[in-house]
Structure 1
Amino acid sequence: MTQAPTPTADTVRRLVRSLLKEGRDGTGGPSVRPVTPERRYTWWIGDRHVLRLAPDREASTRRRRELRLRDLVRPHLPVAVPVSVAHGDWAPGLAYTLDTRVPGGTADEYDVSAVGEADLAGLLGGLRAVPVRPAEALGVPRAAPRSLEALRRMAVHAAERLAAADEFDAARLHQLAPANAARLTAQPGAAVLTHHGLTGAHVVVSADGRVR
């Protein structure tokens, strides 16, 4: 596996200057900075773009697949899907994509409002509506469904902790009894497209709590 050197600001600046009209006149171009000090392969480019650099060939395969997958899911989703304004290799065999930046922060920075919860439900429902066969043709892997009973037990534990803090009515989870959870288990042949890594860091939320 090819492992690239950690990109520097100069590496990113040279690449961005070759891609954007800004800075080609010698003005220096947009500012560049890593999204976080730990994430040196993802960079903010000015206020309008984000540059994602693949650190190895496996990640490069995912980057290239994602470009095609975005076009597949975009018509089904009620939220914005980033658009790539440029893509290619930033080092031999290692992909990059320069994307439009969706305004907002992560769900770790902003609380999701009630309306934002509806946005998230629309996102999940939209993914479910994406036809599976074209997604598989792009190389999206299949994964076995997670145990709904295990998730139910985790939810009950979380609800009890929230109830103790007077932040949730744990009785609301009584309707999701083990027998009811068993009836909701995924059926054979019922494959759907899922995010499979939907954490707060992967959701863009606006300051007013909308999922973007």
Structure 2
Amino acid sequence: MTQAPTPTADTVRRLVRSLLKEGAAGATGAGPDVRPVTDSGGAATWWVGTRHVLRLAPDREAAVRQRRELRLRDLVRPHLSVAVPSSVAHGEWAPGLTFTLDTRMPGGSAREHDVSAVGEADLAGLLSGLREVPVRQAETLGVPRSAARSLESLRRAAARAAQRLAAADEFDAGLMQQLAQPAAVQLAAQRGTAVLVHHGLTGDHLVVGADGRVRGVLGWADTVVGDPAEDIAGLALAVGSPAAVRAATLAGYGARPCLRGLWLARCDSVVRLGEHLAGRSDEPLPLLRTHLRHAWEAILLERVTELREEGADGTDGTDDDML
């Protein structure tokens, strides 16, 4: 198989020149101002002036996902109260390798700006909007189904990792006792609850204004039809467990999916930090520690002790909980 070319500033500049008129996107006499977005994509993602961002698929698998993403963004846009990226041009930058030139959204990331109470309502609109997207239409576009993860299996992996983190003075392993085996079983995903799941709600993918409002959501390439608790978990890692659970509750999710998302995030944060310390992951250590801190922030639901039976869709409200 022919190796894909490595995009350079000259490659990007020539491509953008063919797409935008002279003087657009911060162009100068030497061509448009382009620079890689090293924090969230390296050589595959480039700022183009102050108004656009160019994303280049580095291989054919990524190209398939990018083509699907462009169609999916059009499908979800009418259902969401937050912005979704818009492509002003798309095509191939090399044989079989696609690109999209998107309008840049104003604002920073959730790493740069805290989400306000009104921003939590924006996140609630995102979660409820995703639930409204017709699953059949998404699957017609090629969005895959993803089976719900076993929380019990994840709990066991996290318990082992917690011991290693405790030995490194990174974590109190006793906290894992809050998720006993019966609770993990009770928080198993419910049948018939699959919805469209963004599956990548990281801090980098949440566009947040200086006022704390969530202005848009990036990164739709990994979207699946599956467990809505995965997006609650992603938000817990990105903005903190209390904000994530409040947003999910505002979106109509009951205690079971909220707690499932919380514990997916907590177990993931422990496992990923353990993998880093064992030398099996190159994720940035400060980010992993932030995720651990966010995931283990206490929430109100943990103060009650009984979980009422919810409806099959897992979205009915409840006054009690199991933890």
TM bucket normalised to smaller: 0.7 to 0.9
State the shift of 1:30 in Å.
3.0
The 4+ residue runs of structure 1 with deviation greater than 6 A are 176-184
**Distance across 2 between alignment mates of 1:146 and 1:80:** 29
Whether 1:90 aligns to 2:93 is yes
Residue 170 of structure 1 corresponds to: none
8 Å CA contact 1:90–1:96 kept in 2: the answer is: yes
Residue 49 of structure 1 corresponds to: 52
Residue 21 of structure 1 corresponds to: 21
Residue 134 of structure 2 corresponds to: 131
The counterpart of 1:68, out of the listed 66, 71, 77, is 71
Please list, as runs of the form range in 1=range in 2, the aligned pairs for 1:27-176 lying within 5 A after superposition. Answer: 27-36=29-38, 39-147=42-150
Whether 1:207 aligns to 2:193 is no
Structure 1 gaps of 5+ residues are: 158-173
State the shift of 1:106 in Å.
1.6
8 Å CA contact 1:2–1:56 kept in 2: the answer is: no
Residue 11 of structure 1 corresponds to: 11
TM-score by length of 1: 0.79
8 Å CA contact 1:3–1:55 kept in 2: the answer is: no
Q: Give the letter for the 1:36 counterpart.
A: T
**Distance across 1 between alignment mates of 2:150 and 2:120:** 23
Cα deviation code 1:118-143 (max 9, x no counterpart): 11111111111100001011111111
Q: Give the letter for the 1:65 counterpart.
A: R
**Distance across 2 between alignment mates of 1:7 and 1:185:** 44
Q: Secondary structure at the match of 1:127?
A: helix
Residue 167 of structure 1 corresponds to: none
Instruction: Name the stretch that deviates more: 19-28 or 68-77.
Output: 19-28
Aligned length: 193
Q: Secondary structure at the match of 1:43?
A: strand
Instruction: Name the stretch that deviates more: 184-193 or 119-128.
Output: 184-193
**Distance across 2 between alignment mates of 1:208 and 1:26:** 33
State the shift of 1:147 in Å.
4.2
Q: Secondary structure at the match of 1:193?
A: strand
**Distance across 2 between alignment mates of 1:74 and 1:191:** 19
Higher helix share: 2
State the shift of 1:22 in Å.
2.7
**Distance across 1 between alignment mates of 2:105 and 2:28:** 28
Computed over aligned residues only, the root mean square deviation of the Cα atoms, in angstroms, reads 2.8
8 Å CA contact 1:107–1:201 kept in 2: the answer is: yes
State the shift of 1:188 in Å.
2.4
Q: Give the letter for the 2:55 counterpart.
A: R
Residue 198 of structure 2 corresponds to: 195
State the shift of 1:206 in Å.
1.3
Instruction: Name the stretch that deviates more: 75-84 or 34-43.
Output: 34-43
**Distance across 2 between alignment mates of 1:101 and 1:26:** 19
Cα deviation code 1:28-62 (max 9, x no counterpart): 44311111176111001111110000000000001
**Distance across 2 between alignment mates of 1:9 and 1:2:** 22
State the shift of 1:189 in Å.
3.0
Greater RCO, 1 or 2 (C-alpha within 8 Å, sep 6+):
1
Q: Give the letter for the 2:36 counterpart.
A: P
**Distance across 1 between alignment mates of 2:58 and 2:204:** 19
Q: Give the letter for the 1:8 counterpart.
A: T
Distance 1:130 1:178, change over 3 A: farther
